[in-house]
A = this chain, B = another copy of it.
Amino acid sequence: MTVTAPQGFRSAGIAVGLKSTGKPDLALVVNDGPHRAAAVVFTSNRAQANPILWSRKVAQGGPARAVILNSGGANCFTGDFGYQTTRLTAEAVAAVLGGDADPEQILVCSTGLIGSGDQAFRDKIVGNVPALAAALSDDDTTAPAAILTTDSVEKTAVHEGDGWRIGAMAKGAGMLAPGLATMLVVLTTDALIDDAAADRALRRATSVSFDRLDSDGCMSTNDQVTLLVSGASGATPTDDEFTAALASVCDELAGKLQGDAEGAGHDIDIEVRGAASVADAVEVGRSVARNNLFKAAIFGNDPNWGRVLAAIGTTEAQFDPYAVDVSFNGVRLCHAGGPDRPVDECDLTPRQTHVAIDLFAGTHAATIRTNDLTHDYVHENSAYSS
């Protein structure tokens, strides 16, 4: 159980031929209520896929009944034909749900190669919605696999509250850099919270989790993180309690996305301390995370603190370059902007890598998750569309 761990949800995942491998590629998550609140955050990329354009309208309109997700094609830069595909998909879902279901209450997510979205793509999705609906179950385990692209493992999480739960599934292995979200994620809960509280909680949770994951500096056109609220448990956690639980689930998923990033050899947590503000800490962490020379050095197990300082120097953050400390895996290699412990005291062979930067400019902190720049990354991303 993942997104169906909370009460009031059904899900399913089936194969409809979008992936050439024949693996599952179409998933549906239905909120059976009674509450049906929803909150969604989208990519901040201004080049947005058709499902994003559609789902933005749905999110503005109020309650959401379901979210349908496909892998095997992003339906991005496919013009009006692609947008109509998204609309027809939502209409097909509303039709099979029956009753009072409205197409404008159906969220749509797509992931895969940008530009794909032809007639065959449309037919495979729309024509298979009835089969997908027939597979719906409140004890489902098939949905998470159907949203994967280059991911090597399913990514799920469950939080147990006091009489309520959060369930989650996620995909994402490349283009992991945030605008708002960085991937496709569906979060479900049977806690009884209203729309405004759900929206606040989702924005706070994503800002400290998915927004701090920056694997390769590239922002997707299709990212969407959706929270569906059934309220079926009747339990009413406080705002803080629910937000903390949601943030914990999102952080767990962010760690799983980092751990499965395309071609990565190291999972690097860049902890920035002593910053004048959280924004400064995030800016410094992200600048280091996006520095190709630093990332290539980590691939080579080289704790190159000079490249860390050079990356910090490109930011607007408050700091004195000659008052900065940098540690790799607990060994302080740079103190006050100069050499400290010998570099060979530091072992970077483990996949988990911790870089601690102290700016000595304040009391704020943030950790950015990233990955190294490897031969496998170059290979996978030069061969992706072939």
Q: How far is the CB of A266 from chain B (nearest CB, A)?
A: 11
State in angstroms the CA–CA spacing of A79 and B337 once bound together: 7
Interface stretch of the complex, out of A94-102, A162-170, A214-222, A274-282: A214-222
Chain B residues in 8 Å Cβ range of A386:
300, 302
State in angstroms the CA–CA spacing of A175 and B306 once bound together: 12
**Nearest chain-B residue to A43 (Cβ)?**
B313
The answer to whether residues A77 and B306 also contact, given A314-B179, A314-B219 and a CB cut-off of 8 A, is yes
**Nearest chain-B residue to A293 (Cβ)?**
B218
- Point out the residue from B44, B115, B293, B321 that lies within 8 Å of A175, measured CB to CB: B293
State in angstroms the CA–CA spacing of A46 and B310 once bound together: 8
- Point out the residue from B77, B291, B299, B307 that lies within 8 Å of A114, measured CB to CB: B307
The answer to whether residues A296 and B179 also contact, given A46-B313, A114-B306, A313-B48 and a CB cut-off of 8 A, is no
State in angstroms the CA–CA spacing of A216 and B296 once bound together: 12
Are B309 and A377 in contact (CB-based, < 8 A)? no
Are A306 and B113 in contact (CB-based, < 8 A)? yes
Are A218 and B45 in contact (CB-based, < 8 A)? no
Contact pattern, A 211-250, Cβ under 8 Å of B = 1, otherwise 0:
0000011111100000000000000000000000000000
Q: How far is the CB of A101 from chain B (nearest CB, A)?
A: 30
Q: Quickly give the copy total for this chain.
A: 2
Label chain A's interface by main secondary structure.
loop
Chain B residues in 8 Å Cβ range of A113:
306
State in angstroms the CA–CA spacing of A47 and B293 once bound together: 16
Are B293 and A381 in contact (CB-based, < 8 A)? yes
Are B385 and A296 in contact (CB-based, < 8 A)? no
Are B179 and A300 in contact (CB-based, < 8 A)? no
Chain B residues in 8 Å Cβ range of A302:
382-386
Q: Is A330 an interface residue (CB 8 A)?
A: no
State in angstroms the CA–CA spacing of A314 and B310 once bound together: 24
Q: How far is the CB of A177 from chain B (nearest CB, A)?
A: 9
The answer to whether residues A45 and B310 also contact, given A216-B292, A293-B175, A293-B381 and a CB cut-off of 8 A, is yes
Binding site for B on A (CB under 8 A): 44-48, 74, 76-79, 113-115, 174-175, 179, 216-221, 290-293, 296-297, 299-300, 302, 304-307, 309-315, 319, 321-322, 334, 336-339, 373-375, 377-379, 381-386
9 A-B residue pairs with Cβ-Cβ distance under 8 Å, sorted by A, are A45-B313, A46-B321, A47-B313, A77-B334, A77-B339, A78-B339, A114-B306, A115-B305, A115-B306
